[in-house]
């Protein structure tokens, strides 16, 4: 439990990025700030001694005061703000506790001057609404945005000592196949799971690659609608902020929703489900790489209950990489438990609800025909998993291909792993030509483990 008139780092981290989150006021001294020139996302730096002069800036908003270690400086400023009828708390443990917890910190060197003015092209759409949203929620709640003709962006930015974005020649702009929003997320150290997920949606919408995320099409439609509704760029920006608030709120909850949705609507056995899980966890949610997914699948195959083992592994890895204020191992353990709970609760619900009707359903001819068709589909899904598994096992590098409405990983033939290929071909011949039993296949698996241990084979591409 947090101390009186203070808030714990993990509690604050859940508020940052929300439209009704508190104003963060960093009152570290100039010397303290110089020794570690980073700041908590969204924090504004103010002098504690002149609180009477700037207190009115946060009027009407809840405030959290941040000092180095939550000593008298932070509590004194918070008390002064409360005296002016501003709800204020101190960050428990201060900046040091936040940094020790491994929570996001933005380097000051990326943003100069700190009081930010941003310039971009007029008539904003996807990227030029997403970037201001990120800046307002995570960098500077009072940032100023100037929308001008594309040809004038760099000159206006230079005149006002501002930062240009989403225009050729600017630092904050498209890089390769990634958009300006990606540049902000990466450069500012904000690559949390939720923002990575949102970045993928923005990238798909902004670059016309809607196959990157199913939500990209909806974002395009909403962005075009806002453009039609508002002729004033600043009015459109204010309306667009609410749109990205909604997307971000959804992105933060997608983990538990992913496991629950998978449990509620998938069928066909563990291997049919794992094909969907592997695709989502690696390619869409980016919780782990393809090589790590192979590790999880391989581990699961050595034990009973492969489905729950893999899901626990994915939940562990996702939480371990984004532990918030928790120790990574503790966060990982809790993530694995959460994955187990939200997966099996819907499953058992279906079992208990449907059990009394199973015998009646078996006699329904229409349903039996439908289930026969589903069986064929499930076989195809399992084949998809087998191909994905094979490609990432036998080739070290793959290339993401988007063509004719399809998305798949094409192997780089030059990166073939000859030992893995030899073992796979040998196992296939043993099974289908010589009808080999369990022991020869176990020997083949043991040979694979031995080759991996001595470094002759890898666990596949990084995805």
> CA nearest 125: which of 231, 234, 220, 246?
220
pLDDT at 148 over 90: yes
Mean pLDDT across the stretch 49-65?
A: 88
The proportion of the chain whose per-residue pLDDT surpasses 90, expressed as a percent, equals 41
User: In this structure, what token pair is assigned to residue 289?
Assistant: 């790489």
Mean pLDDT across the stretch 265-277?
A: 71
Mean pLDDT across the stretch 306-334?
A: 82
**20-44: per-residue pLDDT in tens?**
889 999 999 999 999 999 999 999 9
Confidence at residue 233, expressed as pLDDT on a 0 to 100 scale: 96
Band the pLDDT of 125: cuts 50, 70, 90: very high
Q: How many CB atoms lie within 10 A of CB 135?
A: 22
Name beta bridge partners: 38: 107
Q: How many CB atoms lie within 10 A of CB 181?
A: 30
Domains and CATH numbers, the chain: 6-105 (3.40.250.10), 111-251 (no CATH), 266-453 (no CATH)
The mean-pLDDT minimum among 51-55, 117-121, 396-400, 458-462 falls in: 458-462
168 secondary structure, DSSP code: T
Name beta bridge partners: 172: 165
Confidence at residue 1, expressed as pLDDT on a 0 to 100 scale: 44
**155-178: per-residue pLDDT in tens?**
999 999 999 999 999 999 999 999
283 secondary structure, DSSP code: I
What length does the chain have?
Answer: 463
Confidence at residue 115, expressed as pLDDT on a 0 to 100 scale: 64
The mean-pLDDT minimum among 80-94, 139-153, 279-293, 362-376 falls in: 362-376
The proportion of the chain whose per-residue pLDDT surpasses 70, expressed as a percent, equals 91
As a whole number of angstroms, the distance between CA 139 and CA 294 comes to 37
pLDDT at 7 over 90: yes
pLDDT at 179 over 90: yes
Band the pLDDT of 305: cuts 50, 70, 90: low
As a whole number of angstroms, the distance between CA 348 and CA 353 comes to 8
Mean pLDDT across the stretch 274-302?
A: 78
Mean pLDDT across the stretch 392-404?
A: 77
As a whole number of angstroms, the distance between CA 382 and CA 66 comes to 52
Confidence at residue 462, expressed as pLDDT on a 0 to 100 scale: 43
Q: How many CB atoms lie within 10 A of CB 81?
A: 22
Band the pLDDT of 459: cuts 50, 70, 90: low
282 secondary structure, DSSP code: I
pLDDT at 130 over 60: yes
CA 63 to chain centre: 27
Mean pLDDT across the stretch 182-198?
A: 92
pTM above 0.75, yes or no: no
**66-113: per-residue pLDDT in tens?**
999 988 999 999 999 999 888 999 999 999 999 998 889 999 888 866
As a whole number of angstroms, the distance between CA 108 and CA 38 comes to 5
Write the CB contacts of 19 (distance below 8 Å, at least 6 apart in sequence).
137, 241, 242, 245
Helix (H, G, I), strand (E, B), or coil: what is residue 329?
Answer: helix
Confidence at residue 147, expressed as pLDDT on a 0 to 100 scale: 97
pLDDT at 264 over 80: no
Residue with tokens 């939200």: 342
Mean pLDDT across the stretch 378-400?
A: 78
pLDDT at 3 over 60: yes
Mean pLDDT across the stretch 341-353?
A: 79
Confidence at residue 221, expressed as pLDDT on a 0 to 100 scale: 94
The mean-pLDDT minimum among 145-154, 224-233, 327-336 falls in: 327-336
> Regarding beta strands 88-91 and 6-7, do their DSSP bridges make them parallel or antiparallel, or are they unpaired?
parallel
Whole-number average pLDDT of the chain: 85
pLDDT at 463 over 60: no
């Amino acid at each position: 439990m947090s101390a009186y008139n203070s808030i714990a780092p993990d509690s604050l981290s859940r508020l940052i990025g929300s439209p009704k989150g508190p104003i963060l006021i960093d009152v570290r001294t100039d010397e303290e700030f110089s020794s570690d020139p980073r700041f908590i996302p969204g924090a504004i730096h103010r002098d504690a001694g002149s609180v009477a002069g700037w207190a009115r800036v946060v009027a009407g908003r809840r405030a959290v005061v941040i000092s180095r270690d939550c000593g008298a400086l932070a509590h004194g400023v918070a008390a002064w703000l409360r005296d002016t009828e501003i709800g204020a708390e101190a960050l428990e443990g201060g900046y040091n506790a936040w940094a020790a917890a491994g929570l996001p910190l933005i380097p000051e060197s990326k943003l100069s001057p700190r009081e930010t003015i941003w310039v971009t092209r007029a008539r904003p759409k996807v990227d030029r609404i997403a970037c201001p949203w990120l800046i307002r929620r995570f960098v500077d709640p009072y940032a100023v945005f100037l929308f001008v003709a594309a040809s004038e962006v760099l000159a206006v930015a230079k005149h006002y000592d501002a930062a240009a974005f989403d225009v050729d020649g600017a630092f904050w702009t498209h890089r390769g196949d990634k958009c300006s929003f990606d540049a902000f997320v990466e450069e500012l150290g904000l690559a949390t799971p939720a923002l990575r997920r949102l970045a993928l949606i923005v990238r798909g919408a902004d670059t016309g690659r809607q196959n990157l995320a199913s939500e990209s099409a909806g974002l395009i439609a909403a962005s075009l609608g806002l453009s039609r509704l508002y002729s004033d760029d600043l009015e459109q920006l204010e309306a667009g902020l609410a749109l990205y608030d909604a997307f971000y709120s959804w992105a933060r909850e997608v983990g538990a929703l992913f496991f629950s949705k998978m449990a509620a609507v998938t069928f066909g056995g563990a291997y049919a489900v794992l094909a969907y899980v592997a695709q989502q966890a690696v390619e869409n949610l980016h919780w782990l790489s393809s090589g790590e997914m192979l590790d999880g699948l391989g581990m699961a195959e050595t034990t009973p209950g492969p489905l729950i083992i893999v899901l626990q592994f994915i939940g562990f890895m996702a939480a371990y990489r984004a532990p918030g204020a928790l120790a990574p191992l503790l966060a990982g353990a809790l993530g694995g438990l959460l994955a187990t709970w939200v997966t099996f609760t819907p499953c058992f619900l279906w079992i208990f609800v449907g059990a009394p009707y199973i015998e009646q359903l078996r006699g329904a001819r229409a349903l039996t025909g439908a289930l026969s068709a589903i069986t064929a589909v499930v076989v195809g899904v399992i084949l998809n998993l087998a191909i994905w598994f094979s490609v990432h096992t036998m080739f070290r590098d793959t290339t993401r291909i988007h063509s004719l409405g399809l998305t798949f990983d094409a192997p780089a033939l030059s990166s073939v792993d000859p030992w893995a290929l030899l073992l796979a071909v040998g196992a296939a011949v043993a099974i289908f030509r010589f009808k080999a039993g369990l022991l020869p296949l176990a020997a083949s698996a043991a040979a694979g483990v031995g080759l991996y241990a001595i470094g002759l084979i890898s666990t596949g591409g990084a995805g």
